[in-house]
Amino acid sequence: MARSVADEPKSTLVPRVVSALVLAPPVLWAVWSGGVAFQILISLAALIAVFEWMRMAGRAKLWVIAGGLYIALAIYALWWLRLDPQWGRVNLIWLMAVVWATDIGGYVFGRALGGAKLAPSISPNKTWSGFIGGMALAVSASFAVLVIFELDAGWGVALLAGVISAISQGGDLLESAMKRRFQVKDSGNLIPGHGGMLDRVDGLMAASTALALINMGMGSNFILWLA
C-alpha cells in the first residue's frame, strides 16, 4: 500500500519544511530585486556548489573540470535570464516556480501514490507518479505566475513548463548518478533536510540552462514567442 506524505519521518520532513520557509524569502527577494543582491546570491551559490563538487569528485580531474564547467554554465544562464531589463524578473520567478513546483509535486505525489520506479538504478525513491505529478504541478505554477504578472499567454507556455519540469527532473537524476559514481549520500550538509547546495539546485541548474538556450534560440523572450 502506498504511503502518504504524513508517513514521512518527522526527522526528515520537519527540517525540509523549516529550511524551505527560512531560505525562500531571501532568495525570492534577491531574485525580485536583481542587481547587486542577485549577483551576490548566485556568486555565493556558485562558490558553494563548486566547493561541494570538488570535494565530491576528489582527485578525478576530468570530472572536476566537467562539473565546474556545468556549474559555470548554469550560473551564467541564471545571470543572463535575469539581466533582461523587461523580462528578467518574470524569467526567474517563472523558472523557480516551475522547478519548485516540480520538486514539491514529485515529492508529494511520489510518496502518496508510489508505483513504478522512474530510474531505480540511479534514484530508487523516484517514481513515475512523482514525475507526472511534478509536471502537472509545474504547469499549474506556470499559469499562476502569469496571472500574478497579469500576462496573457497560450497553452504553449504550459507545454514549455512541462518540458522544463522534465529537464529539471533530469538534472536531479544527473546529480543522483554523480553521487552514486562517487559513493556519497549528499553533496554536503549545508541545508537541513536537503543536504548540500548541489542537492538543492541540481534541477534548477539544468532548467536554467535549458530556458536560456530556448530564449536564445527563439531570439526573444519565451512568453512573447508563445503568447
| pLDDT tens-digit series, residues 5-61 | 333 444 455 666 666 677 888 999 999 999 999 999 999 999 999 999 999 988 889
Rounded to two decimals, the pTM is 0.89
**DSSP H/E element including 123:** strand 123-127
State the virtual CA torsion across 61, 62, 65, 67 in degrees, nearest 10. Answer: -110
Whether the CA torsion 134, 80, 71, 21 is positive or negative: it is: negative
Radius of gyration of the chain (CA): 17
Q: Other CB atoms closer than 10 Å to residue 50's CB: what's the count?
A: 18
Q: What is the pLDDT of residue 192?
A: 59
Q: 138 with 109: CB under 8 angstroms?
A: no
CA atoms within 13 A on the CB side of 190: 17
Cβ neighbours of residue 174 under 8 Å, at least 6 residues apart? 202, 206
User: pLDDT tens digits, residue range 126-178?
Assistant: 899 999 999 999 999 999 999 999 887 778 888 999 999 999 999 999 998 99
C-alpha cell at 108: 508529494
Tell me the C-alpha distance between 127 and 16, whole Å: 20
